Amino acid sequence: MRRYLLLLGLVAALAGIGIFFAARRGQEVANDPTPASVLAEATTSSGEPEGATTLAPPPPGSTGPTRNPSEAPAEKRRYARIVIKAGDPIPELFPFEAEREAINNLALGDDPARFAIIASNLNHTDARVRETARLALIRTGDRAAVPHLEQAAKSSPFPEDAKLMVEAAQFLSLPRFLDVMAEHAKAASPSPTKAP
């Protein structure tokens, strides 16, 4: 019984400490001069193109967004002004995703030209595309990818990637389990002899 009361007291003390810090954090947030919302309504009165949206901080004392960023005091105008025109393409969240998917699909195929196509991406500007190409060549498990990896490692401007390509080439050069088992089976089987 005494243990339970001690445990209950400990839980209550921890809860009290948590409530204290949560209330203290709430006071810090309430005293923060940074505006809570920086979104502004669409406007054409400020000389922006039709259908443009301007993002700006709200003026002090207001609860909503402002139509004109110059209405806010200078100390509040520390946010960048972003103009989004109607009809502009939405920025890609996952750049080069199509290339990465195509590389992975090539690795699953059986076309002999796939190694050259995949290897052409080993020195791509995007690190994720380079990694995808390297892993795709490893995933093929074919030793025909070794010369492509070695050549790309020699010409790579990225030292870390060059090291990983050399390691991948070494991995693909290792004897495969099925090849080793086939050699052992040949060595263990008696050689056929001609009958007289």
pLDDT of amino acid 39: 37
CA angle 115, 112, 171 (to 5 degrees): 45
At 49 the pLDDT is 47
Tell me, yes or no, whether 122 lies in a domain. Answer: yes
Helices (H) and strands (E) in the chain, counts: 7, 2
Q: Is the dihedral of CA 142, 143, 146, 147 positive or negative?
A: negative
78 in Cβ contact with 70 (< 8 Å): no
Judge whether 125 lies within some domain: yes
Residue 190 belongs to a domain: no
pLDDT at position 59 is 54
Q: Residue 187: its pLDDT value, please?
A: 86
153 found inside a domain = yes
| Same domain flag for 152 and 173 | yes
Residues 119 and 142 in one domain: yes
Last residue of a domain, one of 68, 87, 106: 87
Residue 7, domain member (yes or no) = no
Rounded Cα–Cα distance for residues 49 and 42 (Å):
10
In a domain, 4, yes or no: no
Which residue is it, tokens 């791509």? 124
Domain co-membership, 169 together with 134: yes
Closest CA to 143 of 108, 174, 119: 174
Cα distance between residue 38 and residue 82, in whole Å: 11
Task: Give the domain range for residue 71.
Answer: 35-87
Residues 141 and 76 in one domain: no
pLDDT at residue number 160: 92
Element (H, E) at 137: helix 127-140
Number of domains the chain contains:
2
Q: Vertex 145, ends 143 and 147: CA angle to 5°?
A: 100
In whole angstroms, give the CA distance from residue 148 to residue 168.
11
167 and 144 in a single domain? The answer is yes
Residue 157 phi/psi, 5-degree rounding, is -85, 0
Which regions in the chain score pLDDT beneath 50? 29, 32-56, 64-66
173 and 101 in a single domain? The answer is yes
Query: What's the rounded Cα separation, in Å, for the pair 107 and 144?
Result: 12
Asked whether residue 55 is assigned to any structural domain, the reply reads: yes
Same domain, 123 and 170: yes
